[in-house]
Amino acid sequence: MREEIPLALHCPLDPQSSTRTYGPGLGYAVYTLLRGWVTVRASGAQLSVSYPSSSASKAAREVCASGDRWGGDLSSSSATPHLAVVSALLGSPHFPHSRNALKRFVTQVEQHTSERWPYTQVLGGLTNAPEVKQALLGLSDALYFEIKAAGASGAVQDGGQVGALPDLPLGPLIEDLLGRGAAQAAGPVRGLGLEARLRRLMRRGGAALLRGPKGTFKTSTAKRAALAEGAALSVVCGAPGMEDVDLIGGLYPGDTGLVWRDGPVTRAIAAAQDGPSVLLVDEALRFHAEHFNRFVTLLDRYSADEARAMGVPDALLPDEAARYQLLTLPTGDVLAAPAERLTVIFTTNAGDEYIQTSSGFDAAMLSRIDLVIEVLEADLQVLLPLLDQAGGDPRLTTVAVSLMQWTQAELAEPGCLLCSHLDARKALSFLREARENLSYGLDLRGALLDACTHVVLGVICPLDSAGRLDAGACAAVMNELQALIDQLGEWHPAG
């Protein structure tokens, strides 16, 4: 199958929207992966992919990656595509569009067959179904442009070599891709994305600080990581006026008198006594400074002997060699949990436009935090499936991502008319409103323009001296959106 890829399916990484066609080498890589003909071996940053040649001999070929260096038998037209497809499946930060497109394609395949991976029925015949064919074309386009972008940026270079590596089962990874439960918790977590880093931290216990602008999914990504690891999740959101009782718990009136009710910090410690537990401290800088003393002491680690001397009962100290984190209750009781089971994640927005109660994290606090991560934009691996869900069609996702990228580029230009960029959270609201408009009978253009008027303009366009939205900024945004809609061509809602 060699045919032109419709504009509506073009990857947002191609700003020129040039004409291009389906790549057979890319399609063959997808085909062999889904048939179960690919063998993947991996350890740490090293990866090896073995697959049958597309020639009549079906001779085995092997390509590999060591960090950002790709090597092995790269002479074949399907060698680089195989590494790219597997990298997308494994959640490589260089292939977020491809991972999302792969999810769309596999989802469409499963809607036309009763099988789960590996799909031993003839996949080629399924491309006669329009939905499957469109998903494959979109996947081909995403793979091509992300391979191109990775090479141009130096993210992928030649020269990778690896030694003997253990086999990596692909079935759990396919299940994880489709959202049917995370990959096996005991298996390796690959990639340098935010969620992967947090999942690795949760497996050893520790603390992380995520800071950055609004709408970058700091909180959502932390929750996703906790759920993927099967950890108990306790959440507390900072606000002025909070008291210790809101964190630790306290005595409340009950049917038979005063009863103790745990707060989120106490629940996190209690859960960590039985298994992995995550305490998510959202909007951390909205806490008063005195509350940080509570978190500082929570992050300290003690030996079993030290914990016992501080009043912790032996029943809470099952391992003499372990380190423990402690929490002293207002009653004087001391709780303990193995440090390797407890993860504390702080999130905060950065910048002068946010109302904060505390000035920042002091040196004592920062010295106890393992990871300090600047989250400057939403992780596409998190964002793209959410946009698909909000808009109900991948072509609307393309519009939203392209508009986000345009606003970011505009802000970098001198004399920009905008006051802010279109962030991920607002992009989701934009697509939800557009989808509602479509359901009420508006055509595509009307639905998107109306949603932009009522969701987007008031956030990214400044006010003029009369208190109205700046006309020039609004016109610039609407003209760009009109151009993006024009690129979609004839519109038919996705099936």
Q: What is the pLDDT of residues 222-241, one digit of tens each?
A: 998 898 888 999 998 887 77
52 pLDDT higher than 80: yes
**d(Cα 435, Cα 159) in Å, to the nearest integer?**
47
Which position has the higher pLDDT, 379 or 356? 379
Q: Which of 162-176, 216-230, 344-358, 456-470 has the highest mean pLDDT?
A: 456-470
| Contact between residue 249 and residue 236 where contact means Cβ atoms under 8 Å apart | no
42 pLDDT higher than 90: no
Residue 26, judged by CB atoms within 10 A of its CB (0-12, 13-18, 19+), counts as buried
pLDDT given for residue 495 in this prediction: 46
pLDDT given for residue 295 in this prediction: 84
Which position has the higher pLDDT, 380 or 50? 50
For CA atoms 486, 433, 393, 405, give the dihedral sign: positive
Long-range contacts of 403-408 (CB under 8 A, 24+ apart): 403/427, 403/430, 403/456, 403/480, 403/481, 403/484, 405/12, 406/480, 407/460, 407/477
| Rounded average pLDDT over 426-449 | 93
Q: What is the CATH number of domain 380-487?
A: 1.10.8
Which position has the higher pLDDT, 408 or 129? 408
270 pLDDT higher than 70: yes
**d(Cα 473, Cα 478) in Å, to the nearest integer?**
9
pLDDT given for residue 462 in this prediction: 94
pLDDT given for residue 193 in this prediction: 77
- Among residues 495, 492, 494, the alpha carbon closest in space to that of 443 is found at 492
**Percentage of the chain lying above the pLDDT 90 cut:** 26
User: Mapping DSSP to helix (H, G, I), strand (E, B) and coil, where does residue 224 land?
Assistant: helix
182 pLDDT higher than 60: no
- Residues 108-165: tens digit of each pLDDT: 888 887 778 888 765 666 767 788 888 888 898 889 888 888 776 665 666 556 667 7
pLDDT given for residue 203 in this prediction: 92
Q: Which of left, alpha, beta for 342 (phi over 0: left; psi -120 to 50: alpha)?
A: beta
- Residues 11-24: tens digit of each pLDDT: 777 655 567 777 78
368 pLDDT higher than 70: yes
pLDDT given for residue 184 in this prediction: 45
| Rounded average pLDDT over 49-54 | 84
User: Mapping DSSP to helix (H, G, I), strand (E, B) and coil, where does residue 444 land?
Assistant: helix
Which position has the higher pLDDT, 473 or 290? 473
452 pLDDT higher than 50: yes
DSSP codes of every residue in 225-285: HHHHTT-EEEEEE--TT--HHHHHEEEEEETTEEEEEE-HHHHHHHHHTTS-EEEEEESGG
447 pLDDT higher than 70: yes
**d(Cα 48, Cα 161) in Å, to the nearest integer?**
9
Structural fold of domain 194-374: Rossmann fold (3.40.50)
- Lowest mean pLDDT segment, chosen from 39-48, 117-126, 247-256, 388-397: 117-126
| Contact between residue 132 and residue 9 where contact means Cβ atoms under 8 Å apart | no
**Domain span(s) for CATH 3.40.50.300 in the chain:** 194-374
492 pLDDT higher than 60: no
pLDDT given for residue 429 in this prediction: 95
470 pLDDT higher than 90: yes
Q: Which of 140-149, 170-179, 424-433 has the highest mean pLDDT?
A: 424-433
Mean pLDDT of the chain: 83
pTM (predicted TM-score): 0.67
- Among residues 39, 32, 21, 85, the alpha carbon closest in space to that of 54 is found at 32
395 pLDDT higher than 90: no
